[in-house]
Structure formats: C-alpha cells, structure tokens
C-alpha cells in the first residue's frame, strides 16, 4: 500500500515499520526516501538506523556479504556527533562489520594463547595494510609491549629484540600516549643493568615530559619480603636515572645536555630521595668534562654518606692531573670497603696511581695481591693488569704495604671533603669497645657516632674535634655523619660538661636524679657510692641524649663527694 503512495511517506513511517520488526520493508522505504535529492535530516537518520539494524542482523547470521554491503551504504552517510546515540551505534557497527575487527580478534586470541610472535607478525602485516587505523596501531603497540614484557623475564635476555620492539613503538608514535608508556617502561626498567645494553636515552629524549601526570612523580608503597612497607621510586625518576646511566661515548653532546637539563628540571618536582639521580647527574657532568660541577655534586653526596666506597671511586673521575689526590681517594675507598670482590676497582686504582707516581715497589705489592685474588677466584686478568705484570718495573717479591698506608694516604681526600663542612668540639659520653664505636655529644646538642680505629681508641670523657656532615631524610629527619674526628687538648665547653653539687632523689628502680638540674645518675654509680635520698652529691655530668624520651639532658660520669650529714 505504502509503495503506491510514496509521495505521502515520511521518516516517521520508516521508524514505525522498524519498531514493528519489519526491517526489510523499513529499509526499502527509507532507501526510496533517500533517492529524493531534497531528503531531510530525519530521512537520513531513518535510513541510517535501518542500516545499523541490518548490519547487526547480518553479523548475527554470519552473512558477511550482506554486512559488507550494508556497511558500505552506511559509510556513505555523514553521521556526526550531534546525532548522539546514532553516531556511537554507527561507529560500533562499522567497527564490528569491518574485516579489520575480525583480524584484531584473531590477533588477541593468539596473544591470549601465548603465541606472541605470531600475534606480532600478524598485526604488523595488518598495520601495513591499514596504517591510518588507530585501532590497528594500538593493537600493534600492545603486541610489542607483550613481547617486551615476556622477554624481560627470560633468564638470558635478548636485548636486540627488545630494542627492535622499542624502535617500532616509537616509530608508531605511541610514545605520546602516557597510559601506554606507563605499561611499556615498567618491564624495561626492571631489567637488571638494562642501561648497559639499550640506549634508553634515545627513547627518553623522544618523550614529552609535559604529558606525565602527578601519579608519575609519586612513589608507590609496597610490602617487601621483610614484611615491611617500602616506597617504590616514581616512574619519572626511574626513567631519568636509567636514561642518564645509558649515556655512552656514542651519545652526541647535544643529546647529553638535553637529557641532563631534563633531569635537573624535573628533579624539582619529585617528592622522594633524589640521591642516586644526583649521582647519575654527576657522572653526566664528567662525560661533558664539567668536572667542577661533577666534583661538587659528588662531595655533596659524600657529605650525606661519607662511607660509600663507590662515591670515593667516583670522585677520582672529577680530578685531573693530581695523582696524589686520586691515590688518596682510592685509599679512602678501600678503608670503607676492603673486600676485593666488591671493591677491586679501588685496588686497581691504587696500582695505577702508584705507577704514575713511579712508586714501583708499592705498585708491585698491590698488583701481586690483586692478581692473586683474581686467580684464586677464577676472575679474568684484564689487559692493563697483564701489561703491568710484564712491565720492567714489576717485582713479584716486593714487600707488602705498611698496614697504615691507606689511612695515612687517605688524609688528603678527607681534607677535600672537610673543606666546606662544619667543625665542632664534642665530648665522648659513651664507648662501645666491642664495636669500636664512640658516641659523642657535640656543641649545640648534636649526637654523633664515630667508628674509630682500634689503634687509636677513644675513651669516655675524651674531648674531640669533629668535622661532620648534616643531611635530611625524606621525612625531614635531620641526620649527621662524622667525616673526621681527633682528640684535642681543649677544655670541653660548659655546654657539654658541668660540675654539680645538689641533693638527690633515689627512685624505686635504683636510679637517682639531682633535684635542681635533674642530672641522671645510673644504678651502678648509686650502688658504688651507696647513695640515698637527701644526700648532697658533688660530681661531673656530661650532656647526653635520652633515646627513650627523645630529649637531651645531663648524665653523671663522676662523683667527687657525698655529703651524708643528714644520715
């Protein structure tokens, strides 16, 4: 009936037939409406809805020929976002009806089956045919990610394969997708010594760091194997540090400077320890031969951790034409860590500097010790050591160095560190002889711990001159490290030692306190002098830190007199 009165048919009639389930009739009516050059917006919408329904029906019946025919008709219509739900449905059925979607589904199945290389080969071929299809490009990227993720967990890692995958990711332009980058960098940064095998700086320089979000600058708490909570470094600091560490001689100066500036700029936004990032920055300055900057950063790091042997080794790289100072740094390093399995580099450095100073017998003794260690531990003897072994100056029977050689020759390095450090007078208020540790109260209520040499022991009440470093933990806690300490003949300041004469009060635990200055008198002294309530006691007290109460006070170290007139 409607076919005979087409001039009276409207889009409303099409929608009515569609609601009744008469889809083919509705489609035919809508198609006839679209033949009119003056068809309306609603005519087009009615036709589009019919095509959407027909594509879904064809897909359900697995009639791909019909689905493709209807899809081509629908693609010819211009459906915009202003059409709302129709626009979304159009996009959906075009994707579902597309042969590309079927290929992507097959690729996904291959990935889920663990056939990652097959999936990658298939998606690569699909991308070659559809380079403008974003869904194909994204699938390509995720296949590359999966290959990298699996490879990163292998016992023997194929770094060339990972590098090839990375090159493809960045060629696709997916490095601007920050969400994808979070997943991509994750497995790469967990690979041990990855920076020695892959030039990560090349990829970091292609990143747009402005796309990183707040979460990328934040640490992630996790529970360690020790059962304690720890902080996993932020993504940004890991990318920057590993990338800086991957710089090598093949890197051009412009790339080095650009990455260095990126690290310095974004370090300011990090709310975590930047200690090791600063170390990477220092090494980068060495590459640029900006040795003054490198040395200052290294000395700053040593102020916080003066016993880190690798920092003393690194300090040598900031020194030019001063073999005595370089030797001193290596000696200090060996004092911090003398086990050659960890610090053979410093022993080799000592040999190298002694040769430069023409101290051949000393160099021979050190060389013999290092080579013997390497042979005993089945380690390779490198070309330089072999050259030394065959040098005319080498004497295999040279006497070992004096036991105090390292300590004596480390003084110049320590002086370099101490030049800009604070100096104070302190008094030893406790000594742990078993651990060779002296605990020092310094002027200004500073508590210090010093690891002394057993040949130069410290004793309680020794007055010492101390050079120390001050730094803050991430939580703001102030910490101190002793860089140098020696006895002095100076009188201790009254802020550290005082004489007292006061009545005391003995409490139930056997401890005692003076009533006016609250000087603490330990149980041993109370018993030795048979002290009791009301005694007026004269003695000497030293400034002391009470860890339990987290406060400073006075502790008696010597009793000079006891007035027991009232007893």
* Domain presence at residue 106: no
pLDDT of residue 3: 44
pLDDT of residue 102: 79
Question: Which of 371, 389, 416 is where one domain is finished?
Answer: 416
Residues 458 and 512 both lie in one domain: no
CB-count burial class (<10 Å; 0-12, 13-18, 19+) for 281: buried
Residues 11 and 83 both lie in one domain: yes
pLDDT beyond 80 at 5: no
Confidence class of residue 92 from pLDDT cuts 50, 70 and 90? Answer: confident
pLDDT beyond 80 at 98: no
pLDDT of residue 12: 93
* Domain presence at residue 312: no
d(CA 468, CA 484): 7
Question: Using one digit for the tens of pLDDT, what is the confidence trace for 353-367?
Answer: 999 999 999 999 999
pLDDT of residue 91: 82
pLDDT of residue 6: 47
Question: Which of 97, 116, 148 is where one domain is finished?
Answer: 97
d(CA 117, CA 146): 9
State CA 19 to chain mean position distance.
61
Residues 504 and 475 both lie in one domain: no
**How many CB atoms are closer than 10 A to CB 504?**
23
List the CATH number of the domain containing 516. Answer: 2.40.50.140
Residues 7 and 91 both lie in one domain: yes
Least confident range of 81-95, 108-122, 283-297, 485-499 = 81-95
pLDDT of residue 157: 95
Domain that holds residue 449: 421-487
* Domain presence at residue 380: yes
Angle of the 253-267 helix axis to the 235-245 helix axis, nearest 10: 150
Buried b vs exposed e over 346-355: b needs ≥16 C-beta within 10 Å? bbbbbbbbbb
Question: Using one digit for the tens of pLDDT, what is the confidence trace for 238-280?
Answer: 999 999 999 998 999 999 999 999 999 999 999 888 999 999 9
Question: Which of 97, 124, 158 is where one domain is finished?
Answer: 97
Confidence class of residue 206 from pLDDT cuts 50, 70 and 90? Answer: very high
pLDDT of residue 474: 64
Residues 461 and 538 both lie in one domain: no
Q: Which is higher by pLDDT, 470 or 562?
A: 562
Residues 483 and 501 both lie in one domain: no
CB-count burial class (<10 Å; 0-12, 13-18, 19+) for 361: middle
pLDDT beyond 60 at 2: no
pLDDT beyond 70 at 379: yes
List the CATH number of the domain containing 451. Answer: 2.40.50
**First and final C-alpha spacing in the chain:** 130
Residues 32 and 68 both lie in one domain: yes
Residues 470 and 383 both lie in one domain: no
Q: Which of 59, 125, 66, 55 has the alpha carbon at shortest distance from 90?
A: 55
Task: Compute the residue count for the chain.
Answer: 567
How many domains is the chain built from? Answer: 4
Residues 333 and 412 both lie in one domain: yes
* Domain presence at residue 228: no
CA distances from 415 to 83, 98, 411 (A): 77, 74, 6
pLDDT beyond 80 at 1: no
Average pLDDT value for residue range 460-479:
83
| pTM confidence score | 0.70
Question: Using one digit for the tens of pLDDT, what is the confidence trace for 26-44?
Answer: 999 999 999 988 888 899 9
pLDDT of residue 58: 86
pLDDT of residue 4: 43
Question: Using one digit for the tens of pLDDT, what is the confidence trace for 294-340?
Answer: 999 999 999 888 899 999 999 999 999 999 999 999 999 999 999 99
pLDDT of residue 497: 94
Q: What is the mean pLDDT of the chain?
A: 91
Residues 359, 331 contacting (CB under 8 angstroms): no
Q: Which is higher by pLDDT, 352 or 563?
A: 352
Residues 543, 496 contacting (CB under 8 angstroms): yes
């Amino acid at each position: 009936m409607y076919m005979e009165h087409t001039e009276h048919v409207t889009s409303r009639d099409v929608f009515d037939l569609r609601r009744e389930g008469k889809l083919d009739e509705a489609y035919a009516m809508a198609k006839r409406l679209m033949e009119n050059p003056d068809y309306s917006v609603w005519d087009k919408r009615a036709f589009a809805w019919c095509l959407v329904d027909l594509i879904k029906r064809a897909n359900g019946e697995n009639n791909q020929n019909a689905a493709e025919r209807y899809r081509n008709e629908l693609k010819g219509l211009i459906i915009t976002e202003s059409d709302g739900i129709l626009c979304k449905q159009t996009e959906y059925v075009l994707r579902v009806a597309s042969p590309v979607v079927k290929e992507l589904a097959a690729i996904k199945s291959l990935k889920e089956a663990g056939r990652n290389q097959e999936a990658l080969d298939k998606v690569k071929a699909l991308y070659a045919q559809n380079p403008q299809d974003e869904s194909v490009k994204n699938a390509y990227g995720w296949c590359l990610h999966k290959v990298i993720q699996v490879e990163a967990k292998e016992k023997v890692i194929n770094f060339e394969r990972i590098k090839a995958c990375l090159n493809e990711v960045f060629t696709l332009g997916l490095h601007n997708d920050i969400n994808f980058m979070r997943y991509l960098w994750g497995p790469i940064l967990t690979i041990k010594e990855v920076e020695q095998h892959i030039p990560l700086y090349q990829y970091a320089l292609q990143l747009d760091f402005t796309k990183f979000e707040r979460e990328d600058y934040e640490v992630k708490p996790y529970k360690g194997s020790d059962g304690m909570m720890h902080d996993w470094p932020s993504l940004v600091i890991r990318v920057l540090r590993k990338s800086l560490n991957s710089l090598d001689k093949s890197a051009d100066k412009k790339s080095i400077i650009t990455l260095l500036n990126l690290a310095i700029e974004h370090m300011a936004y990090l709310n975590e320890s930047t200690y090791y990032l600063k170390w990477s920055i220092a090494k980068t300055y060495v590459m640029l031969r900006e040795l003054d900057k490198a040395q200052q950063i290294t000395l700053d790091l040593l102020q916080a951790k003066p016993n880190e042997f690798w920092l003393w080794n690194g300090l040598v790289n900031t020194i030019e034409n001063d073999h005595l100072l370089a030797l001193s740094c290596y000696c200090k390093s060996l004092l911090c860590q003398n086990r050659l399995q960890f610090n053979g580099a410093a022993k080799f450095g000592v040999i190298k500097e002694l040769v430069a100073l023409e101290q051949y017998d000393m160099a021979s003794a050190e060389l013999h010790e290092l080579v013997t260690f390497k042979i005993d531990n089945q380690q390779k003897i490198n070309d330089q050591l072999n050259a030394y072994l065959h040098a005319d100056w080498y004497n295999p029977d040279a006497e070992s160095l004096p036991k105090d050689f390292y300590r004596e020759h480390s003084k110049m390095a320590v002086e370099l560190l101490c030049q800009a450090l604070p100096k104070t007078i302190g008094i030893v208020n406790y000594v742990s002889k078993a651990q060779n540790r002296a605990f020092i109260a310094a002027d200004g209520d500073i508590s210090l711990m010093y690891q002394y040499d057993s040949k130069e022991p410290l004793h309680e009440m020794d007055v010492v001159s101390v050079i120390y470093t001050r730094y803050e933990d991430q939580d703001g806690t102030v910490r101190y490290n002793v860089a140098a300490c020696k006895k002095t003949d100076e009188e201790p300041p009254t802020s550290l030692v005082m004489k007292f004469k006061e009545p005391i009060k003995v409490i139930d635990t056997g401890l005692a306190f003076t009533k006016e200055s609250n000087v603490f008198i330990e149980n041993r002294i109370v018993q030795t002098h048979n002290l009791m309530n009301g005694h007026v006691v004269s003695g000497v007290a030293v400034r002391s830190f009470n860890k339990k109460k987290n406060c400073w006070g006075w502790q008696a170290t010597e009793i000079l007199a006891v007035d027991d007139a009232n007893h």
